[in-house]
Amino acid sequence: MSKRDFLTLKDWSKEELKKLIDDAVRLKKERNEGVKHHHLEGQKLALIFEKSSTRTRVSFEVGFYELGGYPLFLSKNDIQLGRGETVADTARTLSRYVDGIMIRTFEHSKLEELARHASVPVINGLSDDFHPCQVMADVQTIYERFGTYDVKVAYLGDGNNMANSWLFGAAKFGIDFAVATPKGYECPAGVVEEARKEAEKNGSVIMTTNDPLEAVKDADVIYTDVWASMGQEDEATERVKAFSGFTVDKKLMEATGKKKTVFMHCLPAHLGEEVSEEVFESEQSIVFDEAENRLHAQKAIMVELMAQRSK
């Protein structure tokens, strides 16, 4: 049986991604109404964590359980991958036991190698380059809030895996996107170029700048992430200096020129660095709606990838 993976948003069409959002909204409604949806009954999902996480682990475990399946948590200390077994051998072995693999790791190339050698679907739970599941939850949250994809999102901060994923997410969904980064922390030029070409096809605009005020003009959403991600802790002091002026505070929220602008963050947040406590705790903040939607968006992805295997 052929299989498909969920490694980046660029690998999926606009129509496929919009269907996943529709499915996520439906699964959320069913859950809230107490309707059971055991679309993956009897299936097993391996959850490999080389990086720790609160939201990724709990949302995948709970989500797969609610779909009728059995999730297996595997830290780097639980499997031979952390002790020298090759990625290829890990992929081929796990494929004999489980129906899908989710991995949260460092190098994106490791994720691609795992997917290449696995005979079951592989889901990117985060790599150093991309975090597509988070952006799917973000887009679901925006769609529920505004009732349309015709919005502008301003991303302030590091040109990291979140910014890269948002570039492809905005381009696919036809969302106008402005990313403001300090000099020296820009998104990879190749990712920006590829996203711009896709955005043109879907009627949206991708803008890059080093000026937060320019990015937030007319924005419906201001989005940010931590300045030093996992594995970059030794750069924290240097980054605090470099990112000065990028804190999302009340002044930046008002600089959009719109009264209904919302604030989003993938969490965990460092209050006083990338966002002020005043904005984080305000009524404009919808960060916990995003966190909840990780559950629903990922359930839609797992059903799409794995449902055929249960028939």
Strand arrangement, sheet containing 262-265: 206-209, 176-180, 152-156, 221-224, 262-265
Beta carbons of 51 and 105 less than 8 angstroms apart = yes
Q: SS3 string of the chain?
A: CCCCCECCHHHCCHHHHHHHHHHHHHHHHHHHCCCCCCCCCCCEEEEEECCCCCHHHHHHHHHHHHCCCEEEEEECCCCHHHHCCCHHHHHHHHHHHCCEEEEECCCHHHHHHHHHHCCCCEEEEECCCCCHHHHHHHHHHHHHHHCCCCCEEEEECCCCHHHHHHHHHHHHHCCEEEEECCCCCCCCHHHHHHHHHHHHHCCCCEEEECCHHHHHCCCCEEEECCCCCCCCHHHHHHHHHHCCCCCECHHHHHCCCCCCCEEEECCCCCECCCECHHHHCCCCECHHHHHHHHHHHHHHHHHHHHHHHHC
Rounded CA separation 109/87 (Å): 10
Active site residues: 104, 131, 134, 225, 266, 294
Beta carbons of 16 and 285 less than 8 angstroms apart = no
